[in-house]
Structures are given as structure tokens and as C-alpha cells.
């Protein structure tokens, strides 16, 4: 079947993540390689509704592969959740002669892309960009590796202070619904305990673990907590509970927050973004649509958007076992 796609639009939506710019660069340059046009859509779906488009060529994406965030900006769009908003967005794409769309974002962005495809039969392809690594159909999302490195570096610094003052540090990391960052970074940084939403450790077990650490001669400890962990209403309430039950501990809380989402992407994220961008464009040119481009067993793979949205990204059971052994 002859390729009828002559112009592709690219947008970033939802939370930013390191590697998004590298993916934009990959999409733009792959379009140029195949001699088709590329249009950057600013501020996600809201920009699509407002017609905030800009032609992009190979030189317009110079020197962005190493930058965090997204040059196309990102915005939540309540208007795109309405049929009227999506109709306006579609009309803008048609008027601009944009034939297909690459959406870089998470499950919310993919949900919007799938609805748009179902309503208008419009070709769409998704690239997973979120530091939480909570998208089904890919072992790594853009930004996850960079976030891990940032968290481990921060915990290494915190441990210096913990050791110097014989303190227990509770370090909260991002992960509202998924504990991938906490589990991997906790193992990598040598945390004494790791609390994640997928596993209910329980307050009593945590106290017993801290008692054992103290009895074994440890003068300082690090506990890594995913922000979505259910063990306490907040990391500060958890601090109060431990202090009440283990008054011998001098406890401090460190919430790493949005620093995990920023910074220059790691080499892994830059390469991953480049691979996924190429595959997204070439899949559209092959007539494929309504897929997410991901990485499985180090091979680029396509997953239907519906599966990527509805599927559940499972926590690695082997890593949980490794964590249990390492925190002995």
C-alpha cells in the first residue's frame, strides 16, 4: 500500500520527563530522512485545539538531545476531554495538512490519543515518557533511568549526613501508584528498607527491621519510600510514629520532589528516545496506527494503545526478593 502520509505532528503531554527532547529530535530527523514534513505541536492537546503549530526541520532540534524537560512544552487540557474540543483539534490538523500524530507521554496522553483515533480514524503512535515506569508494554519509559540516577546520587549524599550524625533518614521519592523508582533506587543506594505501594510492609515489620538494624550495630539508616506507599498517610506521620515507638532514633525526612523529573537525560534515555522515535515514524509510514512503541527484551516492540493503557506494569518479583536479601 503506497504511503499517503506527507506530514507528521509531534507533541508532548502530561508530566515532563528527561528524554522527551531526544524523542522529539528523533521524530523530526526521521521525518527528514524519509523526506516528509514534521510539525511541532506546542502545549500538548491544548496547543492542538488552539492551532499552536510550528514547522520543524533537522536544524530546529540542534543541541536538545542533552536537555531535560520538553521544548514543545506540556499542558493539561480539560477542553480536549470534550467532543467539541477534539473536533476543533481535528479540524486544525486537517487545515494544517497534518496526516498523523506522534504523542509522547503517559497513560493519560495515550487515552486521549486512542479516543482521538477512534473518533476520527486519525493515525496515532505513542512513545512512553514518564519517570514512573508504570506503562504496560515496555520495560523502560523515557526518563526512568535518569530519575533513578538522580535519586541514587541524592541518597548517596544524604547517607554522608546520616552517617556523620547517627540519624535515620526517611527519603520520599516519586511513585504515586508505582514503586519502580523506590525499589530500584533503594537497592542501588543500599537502603535499609524500601516501602512501595505494591507491597504492604506493615508498620510492625518496619519497626522490627529498624530494631534489628540498631541491635546489629548500625548507627545510621536510610528508608526509601514511594510517595504512594500506604504504610502511613504521609512520610511525616510515619516519622512521628517511629519516634513514638523507637525514641532512640534521631529521624529526618527528605522529600526529593520534582528534582527527580529534571536534569540532563542519561545516555540510556537518549539512546532509547532515539530508537523509539525512529520506530514511531516508520510504523506510521508503514500504515500502522494506534500503537505504543516500547522496549521489551532490549528490542523495540509495538503494543496496542488500549493494552498499554489498561495493562498493569508489574513490579519485578526478583527485585523484591533481592531487596529482602539486601536489607537483611
Active site residues: 132
Distance CA 117, CA 96 (A): 18
Question: Within a 13 Å sphere around the CA of 310, how many CA atoms are in the beta-carbon half?
Answer: 5
Helix (H, G, I), strand (E, B), or coil: what is residue 222? strand
Nearby residues of 72 by Cβ (< 8 Å), 6 or more positions away: 10, 11, 12, 20, 24, 40, 41, 42, 43, 44, 47
Nearby residues of 115 by Cβ (< 8 Å), 6 or more positions away: 86
Q: Around Cβ 217, how many Cβ atoms within 10 Å? A: 6
Cβ 47 vs Cβ 18: under 8 Å: no
Cβ 227 vs Cβ 169: under 8 Å: no
Amino acid at each position: 500500500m503506497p504511503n499517503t502520509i506527507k506530514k507528521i505532528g509531534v507533541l508532548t503531554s502530561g508530566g515532563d520527563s528527561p528524554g522527551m527532547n531526544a524523542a522529539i529530535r528523533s521524530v523530526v530527523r526521521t521525518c527528514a530522512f524519509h523526506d516528509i514534513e514534521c510539525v511541532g505541536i506546542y502545549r500538548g492537546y491544548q496547543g492542538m485545539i488552539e492551532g499552536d503549530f510550528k514547522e520543524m526541520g533537522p536544524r530546529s532540534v540542534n543541541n536538545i538531545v542533552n536537555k531535560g524537560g520538553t521544548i514543545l512544552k506540556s499542558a493539561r487540557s480539560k477542553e480536549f476531554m470534550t467532543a467539541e474540543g477534539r473536533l476543533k483539534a481535528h479540524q486544525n490538523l486537517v487545515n494544517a495538512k497534518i496526516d498523523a500524530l506522534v504523542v509522547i507521554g503517559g497513560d493519560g496522553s495515550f487515552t486521549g490519543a486512542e479516543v482521538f483515533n477512534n473518533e476520527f480514524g486519525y493515525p496515532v503512535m505513542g512513545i512512553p515518557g514518564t519517570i514512573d515506569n508504570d506503562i504496560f508494554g515496555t520495560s523502560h519509559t523515557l526518563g526512568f533511568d535518569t530519575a533513578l540516577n538522580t535519586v541514587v546520587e541524592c541518597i548517596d549524599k544524604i547517607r554522608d549526613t546520616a552517617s556523620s550524625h547517627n540519624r535515620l533518614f526517611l527519603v520520599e521519592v516519586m511513585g504515586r501508584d508505582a514503586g519502580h523508582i523506590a525499589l530500584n533506587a533503594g537497592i542501588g543506594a543500599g537502603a535499609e528498607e524500601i516501602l512501595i505501594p505494591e507491597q504492604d510492609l506493615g508498620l510492625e515489620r518496619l519497626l522490627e527491621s529498624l530494631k534489628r538494624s540498631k541491635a546489629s550495630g548500625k548507627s545510621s539508616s536510610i528508608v526509601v519510600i514511594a510517595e504512594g506507599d500506604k504504610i502511613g498517610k504521609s512520610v511525616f506521620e510515619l516519622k512521628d510514629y517511629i519516634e513514638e515507638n523507637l525514641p532512640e532514633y534521631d529521624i529526618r525526612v527528605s522529600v526529593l520532589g520534582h528534582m527527580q523529573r529534571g536534569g540532563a537525560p542519561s545516555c540510556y534515555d537518549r539512546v532509547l528516545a532515539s530508537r523509539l522515535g525512529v520506530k514511531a515514524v516508520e510504523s506510521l509510514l508503514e500504515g500502522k496506527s494506534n500503537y505504543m512503541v516500547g522496549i521489551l527484551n532490549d528490542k523495540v516492540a509495538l503494543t496496542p494503545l488500549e493494552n498499554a493503557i489498561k495493562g498493569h506494569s508489574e513490579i519485578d518479583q526478583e527485585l523484591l526478593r533481592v531487596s529482602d536479601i539486601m536489607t537483611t
